[in-house]
Structure 1
């Protein structure tokens, strides 16, 4: 996506006068029509763009309407503050955008959100340790294993179980928009090493070992929201072992905030995946995380379930 969060936070470098010194307000009007990475690139063009690229009015237009609420998760963490009162004092909107474009962890490090740098939309990830997983405390069924390909450096691996169910909940103020919820899964036995190969959770040699039961019955995905939205789908877990995939559980819509003073509309999302036919066991599955992305945005292969 080009310029990253570090580019946003760094001062713009001096550059030539390519287009000459146009008025800063004119440069600002151009930048208002661009995404954050392109703003950072144009800041290197000349003095007018460099100055406009640091202006609050440019970056406030890129921030989600509830950025104050989002920064509430940052305040008090490592001495950070926004807009005065803390160790760093007041910071500009560019610095606010840069901070939110990095992962902001909460819930004892088991959840995080960040701004997708190009659009300023909110993304969220929930680790397997933030989910309610049937049998997770019994090592006959599940084990937590380290893995460098997880955002949280750990995955839950299912060895074998009769009743498979993973449940979670999100209670958050999302900016208005449509969001997709995914389970990040991997078929195959994970490596116990923190230096697992790039094929995913396990090596190519053991990727298919231990996988069983998923071809007997489909997994059922469900999603519901506090304002009455529902999605139900199902799919057999029959993809090629050895690589991660995002299994689409459903979409939900957050309406524009009309009464909450720019804090975003509160929404509670409940979700689950289950295969509870107890006539057979199933196993050989890595559960890494649950991801919430703006609809249409994705970073990995997506598996759409059948409605």
Structure 2
């Protein structure tokens, strides 16, 4: 029996909207009726974040996407092409499988110790960066200590989601005589779990190079820590990289990305 002859089109739309983007794409090949439902704006509107219009409208370069693309095309555009928000200091994207929110705080949006000291940090532009400027650590003073941190309001993140924070960077020019690779980083939510802050910070890593992962966009990343955003309570997420030694080269920071953690 062909289920499309039994169920009204509205029921099929509703059923598919209760699944996931991946399921919708699979159901689209079942029959023409399912394809029509699975590709509809009604279904993909459900997969987009409830505040997606507000987020996109805050981006000068991407505000036209709402009217120029179908909801399905908009969904996948946001998965593959992050848009700049918050006056260009942050980027927004969607995680492909479930449509969870992903944010990256660009270098100009980070709190970087001695960022205004030319002998320590150099601000430059790179064609492969999604942001107009990146920060290059060229010299580290004062006992090889420097803190780089990002703050995000937990209310803008997807609820009931396990997130991880990642430092997104590249290596620059070699610096002679410096070969140590220690790093301490972590995440915690201010006003929510202040007492557990020290427990959440990772121990110094002696094999940092082994934890570095290559990204598809040509950059590298290292996980700083993870947290569970239960209900988007009124807290501030702090992602902090501190007390780290150089890697034998200058360090070019594009930003700190917060995205759902797989597995």
| TM-score of the aligned structures, taking structure 2 as reference length | 0.72
What SS is found at the alignment partner of 2:123?
A: strand
8 A contact 1:71–1:100 mirrored in 2: no
- Does residue 36 (structure 1) correspond to residue 21 (structure 2)? The answer is yes
Query: 1:166 — aligned with what?
Result: 148
Alignment of 1:134-283 (within 5 A): 134-152=113-131, 154-162=133-141, 163-173=145-155, 174-176=157-159, 177-189=161-173, 209-210=174-175, 213=178, 215=180, 218-226=182-190, 227-228=192-193, 230=197, 231-233=200-202, 234-236=204-206, 238-239=208-209, 244-256=219-231, 264-275=232-243
Q: Residues 145 and 81 from structure 1, CA distance in 2 versus in 1: closer, same or farther, beyond 3 angstroms?
A: closer
8 A contact 1:158–1:283 mirrored in 2: no
> What do you get for the CA RMSD once the two structures are aligned?
3.8
Displacement of 1:266: 3.7
Alignment of 1:70-85 (within 5 A): 70-75=52-57, 77=59, 80=64
8 A contact 1:215–1:238 mirrored in 2: no
Q: Residues 236 and 107 from structure 1, CA distance in 2 versus in 1: closer, same or farther, beyond 3 angstroms?
A: farther
Alignment of 1:85-124 (within 5 A): 88=67, 94=72, 97=75, 100-101=78-79, 102-124=81-103
Displacement of 1:252: 1.5
8 A contact 2:180–2:247 mirrored in 1: no
8 A contact 2:183–2:208 mirrored in 1: no
Q: Residues 164 and 48 from structure 1, CA distance in 2 versus in 1: closer, same or farther, beyond 3 angstroms?
A: same
What SS is found at the alignment partner of 1:140?
A: coil
Q: Residues 46 and 166 from structure 1, CA distance in 2 versus in 1: closer, same or farther, beyond 3 angstroms?
A: same
In structure 2, distance between residues paired with 1:72 and 1:167: 26
Point out the structure with the larger helix share. Answer: 2
Q: Residues 109 and 21 from structure 1, CA distance in 2 versus in 1: closer, same or farther, beyond 3 angstroms?
A: same
| TM-score of the aligned structures, taking structure 1 as reference length | 0.63
Which of these residues, 253, 256, 263, is aligned with residue 287 of structure 1? 253
Once the two structures are superposed, residues 188-221 of structure 1 have per-residue CA deviations (whole angstroms, 9 ceiling, x without a partner) of 42xxxxxxxxxxxxxxxxxxx21654517x2221
Displacement of 1:27: 4.6
Displacement of 1:56: 5.5
In structure 1, distance between residues paired with 2:175 and 2:38: 54
Query: 2:32 — aligned with what?
Result: 47
Displacement of 1:146: 2.8
Displacement of 1:249: 1.5
Query: 1:13 — aligned with what?
Result: none
8 A contact 1:160–1:282 mirrored in 2: no
In structure 2, distance between residues paired with 1:98 and 1:265: 28
Q: Residues 213 and 134 from structure 1, CA distance in 2 versus in 1: closer, same or farther, beyond 3 angstroms?
A: farther
In structure 2, distance between residues paired with 1:211 and 1:119: 45
Runs of 5+ unmatched residues, structure 1 = 1-18, 83-87, 190-208, 257-263, 298-307
